[in-house]
Amino acid sequence: MEYGFVDCHCHISAREFEKAGVKTLVAVTEEVGEFDRVLQLQECYPDLVAPCLGLHPLQEGGQRSVNPQDLDAALPLFYKHRERLVAIGEIGLDFTPWCAPSQRDREDETSVFIKQLSVAKELQLPVNVHSRSAARVTIETLREQGISRALLHNFAGKPSVALEGVQAGFLFSFPPAVCRNHQRDKLIQQIPLEHICLETDSPALGLDKHERNEPCNIALCCRHIADVKGLSPRTVQMVTAQNALRLFPKVKTHM
């Protein structure tokens, strides 16, 4: 079987992905106002866009932590569109001090995260997870809530924490930003390839932090992971695509 790239976590979608060799785009949301846009894109590109709906731990462009009231508008839409969704996401925790300065912020984020995990379990969907400055508690929460299918995107925790996630069956994805330096090489080395996926997180987390990330850059993270692991880019492309399809079984693709 011929495998193309699977971008497991992205915030934009258009024909430029197909030109970059991306066969499937797992499109996540951050706020409820984005839900319709992602669903519309899936209608336009049904063989390319695989929609996820979710509330990011930071809202209003990162100005505040999510709170339980934000779920009021989102929850009915999860159920309304359950048949179209391939996952719940982007959800998770962000304990960066300047983003979630108070204990109340962290409690609100955790409450909303757990509620969305509950929805994912009820709908039998995997989750697409954010874990900035909260790697250990995010993985602990996933395990405590009985989650078995999760992608921890742009993971930057310690290798020992990642391996706890590996033991739980979770997958980890890395964007082109990992090519900027070697800070996460040890992490990538220790996570088995069978637990790794590719992402661009476009338009953020590109090779140059000051430039818009583009779909074609998915090949950069593929090549970097291959170099770190001493494998061919073709092997990494194929295995990560297989991993993605295992994690997101509802993905429609012509691979």
pLDDT number for residue 205: 63
Task: Return phi, psi of residue 48, to 5°.
Answer: -115, -50
17-31, 93-107, 149-163: lowest mean pLDDT where?
17-31
- C-alpha distances (whole Å) from 219 to each of 2, 36, 48 are 16, 29, 17
Question: Tens digits of per-residue pLDDT, 179-208?
Answer: 988 899 999 999 999 999 999 988 776 677
- What is the distance between the alpha carbons of residues 88 and 55, in angstroms, rounded to a whole number? 9
Instruction: Give SS3 for 127.
Output: strand
- What is the distance between the alpha carbons of residues 11 and 179, in angstroms, rounded to a whole number? 20
What is the crossing angle of helices 103-123 and 71-80, to 10°? Answer: 10
pLDDT band for position 7 (cuts 50, 70, 90): confident
Q: Are 123 and 129 in contact (CB under 8 A)?
A: no
Q: Is the pLDDT of residue 81 over 70?
A: yes
- What is the distance between the alpha carbons of residues 215 and 205, in angstroms, rounded to a whole number? 11
CA atoms within 13 A on the CB side of 141: 25
Which residue type does 160 have? Answer: S
* Structure-block tokens of residue 203: 């338009």
pLDDT number for residue 22: 82
pLDDT number for residue 255: 45
- What is the distance between the alpha carbons of residues 100 and 53, in angstroms, rounded to a whole number? 22
Domains along the sequence of the chain with CATH? 5-247 (3.20.20.140)
Please compute the mean of the pLDDT values over residues 151-165 and round it to a whole number: 97
Beta-ladder partners of 89: 128
The answer to pTM > 0.85 is yes
Q: Which residues contact 80 (CB under 8 A, 6 or more apart)?
A: none
Please compute the mean of the pLDDT values over residues 123-130 and round it to a whole number: 98
Q: What is the mean pLDDT of the chain?
A: 92
Q: Is the pLDDT of residue 123 over 60?
A: yes
